[in-house]
């Protein structure tokens, strides 16, 4: 009988060490504002901090520290006025704790995301797998890896890759033949050679139903202020609903549920701040916060969990329409 404990795996010193390594990589990017004194204190007391995390989890005493709202410059609006966006100061230990959880269970959820999901996907190893005819490196995909400073896949694998793929797919879809560049033809060949889990099915000519239309339509939907509006209750529900593989491997999923509930219990601390209610309304912040805090290193992963049910249903609808020859 499998008696593996997911909680024990999360708080193993080696896993906590790699979580701290990843946290330091985030801090070094200078993409957010941080409390440098807190980072220095955690670093100076590194071993004791990790031991305290272990003790708090084992004793069921771990509690998130409150998050402090800050205003992060966003640039000028159309009238030339300054704008701010919502952001928070988050404790170092809570950042490390979330990364430790992602190290252990992240892959079981990330692999369930559809092939057309590009943003905030977890890091997987990549390796050179030969060269194309035009001398570019062909990259092969490996496994999810925790022993690295990377948490998410490289930016070039997300938004730039998405735009490039959309352009290529728009040439493949029509029944009328469209001349592809050599690099695009090689891209399709490389995609065909990937494992099924890594393939972009839309790059396969056979995926698309035959139609005689000469017109292609493009639609883009942008969910504004997604992190603040995401509901943590939906995230908790999706963690449970799509947990089959986690439950198969570990015997203490109920303990993991309780831990995730604690780690999603964000409380905003306004004490001592001089901003007005109007200032907070400008950045979309109410006294009751139920969203994902911007500047939480796990925010990208949690946003994908929040959308996982929608992704699954969307994929089912697409596949049904495909079977009915409507795509």
What the block records as the tokens of 236 is: 């908790």
In angstroms, rounded to a whole number, what is the distance separating the alpha carbons of residues 35 and 80? 30
Whether 264 and 285 share a structural domain: yes
Residue 118 lies in a domain: no
52 and 132 assigned to the same domain: no
| Residue 97 DSSP SS3 | helix
Per-residue pLDDT reduced to its tens digit, 187-221: 998 888 888 888 999 999 888 877 666 777 878 88
Same domain membership, residue 232 and residue 215: no
- How much is the pLDDT for 327? 61
CB 121 within 8 A of CB 153: yes
Which of 220, 240, 256 is the endpoint of a domain? 220
What pLDDT is recorded for position 82? 78
Q: Does residue 2 carry a pLDDT above 60? A: no
Range of the domain at 253: 6-113+228-316
Residues 71, 36, single domain; the answer is yes
Among 198, 220, 242, the domain boundary falls at 220
Tens-place pLDDT, residues 235-292: 999 999 999 999 999 999 999 999 999 999 999 999 988 888 888 888 888 777 889 9
Structural domain count of the chain: 2
pLDDT at residue 31 in the model: 83
User: Is residue 241 domain-shared with residue 210, that is, in the same domain?
Assistant: no
Q: Is the pLDDT of residue 1 over 50?
A: no
CA atoms within 13 A on the CB side of 292: 24
């Amino acid at each position: 009988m499998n008696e593996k404990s997911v909680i024990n795996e999360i708080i193993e010193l080696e896993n906590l060490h790699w979580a701290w390594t990843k946290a330091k990589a985030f801090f070094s990017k200078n993409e957010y504002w941080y409390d440098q004194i807190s980072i220095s204190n955690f670093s100076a007391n590194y071993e004791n901090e990790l031991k305290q995390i272990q003790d708090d989890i084992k004793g069921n005493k771990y509690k998130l520290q409150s998050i402090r709202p800050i205003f992060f410059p966003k640039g000028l609006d159309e009238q030339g006025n300054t704008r701010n966006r919502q952001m928070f100061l988050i404790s170092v230990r809570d950042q490390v704790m979330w990364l430790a959880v992602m190290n252990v269970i992240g892959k079981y959820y990330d692999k369930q995301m559809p092939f057309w999901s590009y943003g905030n996907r977890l890091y997987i190893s990549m390796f050179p797998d030969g060269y194309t005819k035009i001398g570019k490196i062909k990259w092969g995909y490996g496994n999810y890896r925790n022993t690295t400073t990377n948490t998410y896949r490289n930016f070039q694998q997300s938004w730039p890759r998405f735009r490039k793929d959309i352009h290529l797919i728009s040439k493949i879809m029509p029944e009328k033949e469209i001349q592809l560049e050599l690099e695009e033809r090689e891209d399709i060949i490389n995609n065909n050679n990937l494992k099924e889990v890594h393939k972009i099915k839309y790059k396969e000519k056979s995926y698309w139903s035959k139609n005689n239309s000469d017109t292609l339509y493009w639609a883009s939907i942008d969910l504004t202020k997604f992190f603040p509006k995401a509901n943590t209750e939906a995230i908790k529900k999706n963690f449970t609903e799509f947990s089959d593989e986690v439950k198969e491997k570990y015997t203490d999923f109920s303990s993991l549920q309780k831990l995730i509930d604690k780690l999603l219990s964000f409380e905003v601390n306004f004490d001592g701040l001089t901003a007005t209610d109007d200032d907070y309304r400008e950045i979309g912040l109410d006294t009751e916060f139920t969203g994902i805090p911007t500047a939480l290193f796990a925010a990208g992963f949690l946003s994908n969990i929040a959308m996982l049910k929608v992704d699954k249903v969307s994929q089912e609808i697409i596949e049904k329409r495909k079977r009915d020859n409507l795509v």
